[in-house]
Structure 1
Amino acid sequence: MSITRRGLGVAALGTGLAAAFVQRAAANNLEKAKKAGELVVATELHFAPFDFTEGGKQTGFNSDVFAEIGKDLGVKIRFQDLPWASVLPGLDASRYDLAAGPAIITKARLERYRFTVPIAEATVTLLKRANDRSINKPEDIAGKQLGGATGTAQLAQFKAFVESLPGTTPPIREYQSFSEAYADLAAGRIAAVGNSLPNIAYAAKQRPNVFAVVQPPFGAKAYFSYIGRKDADSAPLIDAIDAAIVKMRQDGRLTALQTKWFGQTFDTPNSVPVPAV
């Protein structure tokens, strides 16, 4: 073989290798998930009714929703249970495909992450004791001792609402978890707890003789959604998940799951809305 022909052969081989490398590098996260046969989703199994354990097994709204998403995408769902504080940093580091949370869609989060279409409303609502006749609307909490979970978006809105009420209301008592706040509410140590509507509805559904929802919600309209990375590789995956969720909404599966876990349904949009918070 001449040097020229050998050079052409090497060049062709190099071109082929380069093309193969580009093809491999071009695989986006949806293609990778389908090739692997699984979608890796991070969550925290201490956020009922979305994700929690019962009898040692994962259960909740997220499990049911992702089971349907997995069917539509043709993949299995593998959940990773992590403390919520480490979920988004792990997503940033590409340790998994999606964060299930779910999380409230906010202006600040939209600057950094790509959200799926909403799966439930997240507007802040009040939970009271079922036998408390003094609270019939949100404004009736004026002057009462209230509770919320520290460091949450719900608490910030709760504080703003309380500040708008007439008279003087004690500072909201902050708890490390909503479970602790609900325990104090049941014991009569606080008059109401502010949390997102699905969580409040679930607590009242689980213990209707103890808790009741105070209508209407008082916070700015907000929605829960799942979180992905805002990059070109993630876009096809989020697009496919969006399509699956919209399909579930149209054929009634999403409504059925909302009723199952929250005892009510939510009118969620088919696209990511401009957040009010």
Structure 2
Amino acid sequence: MMRIGSSIKRIAITLGLVVTGLVLTACSSNSSSSKSGYQADLKQSKQLTIGLEGTYAPYSYRKDGKLTGFEVDLGKAVAKKMKLKANFVPTKWDSLIAGLGSDKYDVVLNNIAETPERKKSYIFSTPYIYSRYALISKAGDKSIQKLSDVKGKKLAEGTGTNNEAQAKKLGAKTVPSGDFTTTLALIRQGRVQGTINAREAWFAYAKTNSTKGLAYHKVSDSQAEPVKISAMFNQKDTKLKAKFNQVLQQLRKDGTLTKLSQKYFGADITEK
């Protein structure tokens, strides 16, 4: 009788463990299903964590201490469509892309162009800006007026940027610069002869700052093709990228992209 009783107890315990396991599995399944699709790629639940510099007007910068700019408003608009809260993480350019690789944020919105080198480690959304170059030099310097003139010249450029890549491609010597305002100061001081930069950055700067001592040279599409600016994601976050593209298309169709572009740049730079 004792053996029978012991066997019954063991069976009851075993059944209890099986039932408990089934309940835990069901709970786990329900938890996983609540984060299906692109939400499973998010670093924080119900948040779209966005990496940017916050020092490059008019893309992202601070006005009266508050983060604002084209890519800030774009990030908010995308997050809203996704029913998420936009969480911005301002990061210096030198460590911005590395921060994405270490899962510091979900996406980078920072006037970034898709390049063969970056494609080895990251994936990109469809373009939301078609950025054109500008050549800026010191006023009165007749030796640098078009892109072909920069060969052998010393230019201030952001490390790792498409501007720096373009300058090096054309044979210029580059000097690292952390932001656009610093770059212009280096030109005024004569420490460099110029910079290849985004025309949109120049337009935004000229709205509220004096351009005395500087010369702006328009770069035609025949000199350099427009740069396609996209959002950047980790390679594994394919579902998040797909959702971002879907929302971006909606914002293009409803006119949001055009309105934001007109607001910050005075022109529509979201079309080819």
Q: TM-score range by the shorter chain?
A: 0.7 to 0.9
Within 5 A, what are the aligned runs for 1:1-277?
3-4=10-11, 6-25=13-32, 27-28=35-36, 30-31=38-39, 36-128=45-137, 137-139=146-148, 141=149, 145-152=153-160, 153-161=162-170, 163=171, 171-172=172-173, 174-177=175-178, 178-186=180-188, 192-207=194-209, 210=212, 211-217=215-221, 218-231=223-236, 234-268=237-271
Instruction: Give the % identical residues.
Output: 22
Contact 1:122 1:222 in 2 (8 A): yes
The answer for the alignment partner of 1:168 in structure 2 is: none
Contact 1:104 1:225 in 2 (8 A): yes
Instruction: Pick which of 104-113 and 6-15 moved more.
Output: 6-15
1:120 CA drift (Å): 1.2
Change (3 A) 1:110 1:54: same
Q: How many Å separate the matches in 2 of 1:263 and 1:99?
A: 24
TM-score by length of 2: 0.77
- Quick one: which amino acid aligns to residue 257 of structure 2? L
Cα deviation 1:146-193 (Å, max 9, x = unaligned):
5221533312212322x4xxxxxxx53524233222124345665542
Instruction: Pick which of 199-208 and 119-128 moved more.
Output: 199-208
Instruction: Pick which of 24-33 and 80-89 moved more.
Output: 24-33
Contact 1:104 1:122 in 2 (8 A): no
> Over aligned residues, Cα RMSD in angstroms?
3.4
Cα deviation 1:69-100 (Å, max 9, x = unaligned):
12211122111222223333332232322222
Instruction: Pick which of 196-205 and 85-94 moved more.
Output: 196-205
Change (3 A) 1:29 1:197: farther
- Quick one: which amino acid aligns to residue 45 of structure 1? G
Gaps of 5+ in 2: 1-7
Q: How many Å separate the matches in 2 of 1:58 and 1:179?
A: 17
Cα deviation 1:224-262 (Å, max 9, x = unaligned):
22222111xx33322222122111112221112112222
Gaps of 5+ in 1: 164-170, 270-277
- How many residue pairs match? The answer is 258
The answer for the alignment partner of 2:3 in structure 1 is: none
Cα deviation 1:170-224 (Å, max 9, x = unaligned):
x535242332221243456655420134334433454585453413153354222
TM-score by length of 1: 0.76
Contact 2:144 2:150 in 1 (8 A): no
Change (3 A) 1:144 1:237: closer
- Quick one: which amino acid aligns to residue 232 of structure 2? I
Does the residue aligned with 1:80 lie in a helix, a strand or coil? Answer: strand
Largest Rg, 1 or 2:
2
Change (3 A) 1:173 1:66: closer
- Quick one: which amino acid aligns to residue 18 of structure 1? T
